[in-house]
Copies of this chain bind each other. A is one copy, B any other.
Amino acid sequence: MIRKKPATLSDIAATIGVAPMTVSRVVNGTGYVSELTRERVMQAVAEMNYRPNGVARNLKRQKTETVGLVLGDISNPYSTEIANAVRESLSARGFNLFICISEHSAKEDIAAFDSLVDHNVDGIIVATRSNKEGDERLAGIADRNIPVVVVGRDFHHDQVDSIAADNFAGGFEATQHLIDLGHKRIAFIGASFINRGNLKRLQGYLAALTEHNLAVDERLITGRRETLSEIPGYSTEKIGYEGMKRLLSLPNRPTAVFARNDFTAVGAMTAIKEAGLSIPDDIAVVGFDDTPLAVHTLPPLTTVRQPMRLQGQLAAELLLKRIAEKDTVTTENRVLECELIVRQSTVA
């Protein structure tokens, strides 16, 4: 079977003997068209299986009603929830969403940015972990006045709004909770050795220890050599498991652990239970994110809830605002509060 080209406006116009513009008017429901003509056009459109060529339309209209979302690890509920919230907010306003994945590298970040820009999306939401080259390209895009909003990551540019959870405060609160329960040897699981400063949850943990005059014991901080952005979400369960194993083999093991996210926490819990120890009596566990599975672990997991959907909603709103008001002057940097959810993994 030979592939025939899709019908165009002109094809429709030619077959029923009107000007392309008339067909355009019918298709878009604009301007004056007589009832008779409208019907004839509609019929031809149906018969010839016509669909407007969006590329041509976009070129002419200079907008696409489409927004791009660049995600790092899509295995993580964090990304998922943000994506869903963004999509909901956008589709309520008639915008489409294209998601690009950039799982591994600055190169892929750049490829994702470029392909979105090349398709003339009206704006871009970025929720990847930051890296130097990627950020440079992103700055270039923002410089060209393409609306950009970043979520859950560092990025400073006078044309770019940012939204993030207060990971520092969340980490602080989680650790403080463990300290309040009387714990003195509190471990951290899931540190990044490459870019530790970027991991606000770890910083919050360190700050809480310091504030309460507890010594920081480096042996109690576990993680991996790789940048964390290289590790898919559910695999961090493995990191939690391995990290906990290492902690359990210490001569003086911790009495509590704060895991960088719920997956890591679940992995740690598995290791603790395997060792025949009890949660929270022998070791208390705190996670982060309050993913849906946190309620279903055994025991249910104490965790820090970050407003994931809200971040997505806000990102979409700010971006749409930026798209609508082409000369926005103000730049918003929102930091959203986290909330400690106490369950039985810390308090029996």
Chain A contacts to B: CB under 8 angstroms: 1-4, 6, 49, 51-59, 64, 66, 74-75, 77, 80, 83-84, 87, 91, 96-101, 103, 108, 111, 114-115, 117-120, 140, 143-145, 159, 232, 234-235, 237-238, 241, 266-267, 270, 273-274, 291-293, 296-298, 326-327, 329
Q: Tell me the complex Cα distance, A293–B97, Å.
A: 30
Whether the Cβ atoms of A118 and B83 lie closer than 8 Å is no
Whether the Cβ atoms of A101 and B111 lie closer than 8 Å is no
Closest B residue to A74 using CB positions: B80
CB distance from A145 to the nearest CB of B (A): 4
Whether the Cβ atoms of B118 and A52 lie closer than 8 Å is yes
Whether the Cβ atoms of B53 and A56 lie closer than 8 Å is no
Whether the Cβ atoms of A6 and B66 lie closer than 8 Å is no
Q: Chain B residues near A292 (CB, 8 Å)?
A: 232, 234-235, 237-238
CB distance from A59 to the nearest CB of B (A): 5
Whether the Cβ atoms of B234 and A119 lie closer than 8 Å is no
Q: Tell me the complex Cα distance, A336–B87, Å.
A: 33
The 4 closest A-B pairs by CB, nearest first: A54-B118, A96-B115, A99-B99, A98-B98
Q: Tell me the complex Cα distance, A98–B102, Å.
A: 11
Please give the count of copies of this chain that the complex contains: 2
Whether the Cβ atoms of A101 and B99 lie closer than 8 Å is yes
Asked, given contacts A84-B103, A100-B98, A101-B84, whether A117 binds B296 with beta carbons under 8 Å apart, the answer is no
Which of B52, B53, B144, B267 makes the CB contact (< 8 A) with A51? Answer: B144
Whether the Cβ atoms of B241 and A267 lie closer than 8 Å is no
Which of B74, B117, B143, B296 makes the CB contact (< 8 A) with A74? Answer: B74
Among A3, A49, A53, chain B packs the most CB atoms within 10 A around the CB of A3
Whether the Cβ atoms of B103 and A100 lie closer than 8 Å is no
CB distance from A105 to the nearest CB of B (A): 11
Asked, given contacts A55-B59, A111-B91, A111-B96, whether A83 binds B77 with beta carbons under 8 Å apart, the answer is no
Whether the Cβ atoms of A298 and B327 lie closer than 8 Å is no
Whether the Cβ atoms of B54 and A120 lie closer than 8 Å is yes
Q: Tell me the complex Cα distance, A53–B118, Å.
A: 6
Q: Tell me the complex Cα distance, A241–B295, Å.
A: 11
Q: Tell me the complex Cα distance, A59–B119, Å.
A: 11
Q: Tell me the complex Cα distance, A100–B241, Å.
A: 33
Which of B59, B111, B241, B297 makes the CB contact (< 8 A) with A59? Answer: B59
Q: Chain B residues near A145 (CB, 8 Å)?
A: 3-4, 6
Whether the Cβ atoms of A3 and B234 lie closer than 8 Å is no
Q: Chain B residues near A80 (CB, 8 Å)?
A: 74-75, 232
Among A75, A159, A234, chain B packs the most CB atoms within 10 A around the CB of A75
Known: A59-B59, A66-B115, A273-B298. 12 other contacts (CB 8 A): A1-B327, A1-B329, A3-B326, A54-B118, A55-B118, A64-B119, A75-B77, A234-B292, A237-B292, A266-B293, A266-B296, A270-B296
Q: Tell me the complex Cα distance, A285–B143, Å.
A: 56
Among A101, A103, A329, chain B packs the most CB atoms within 10 A around the CB of A101
Closest B residue to A49 using CB positions: B144
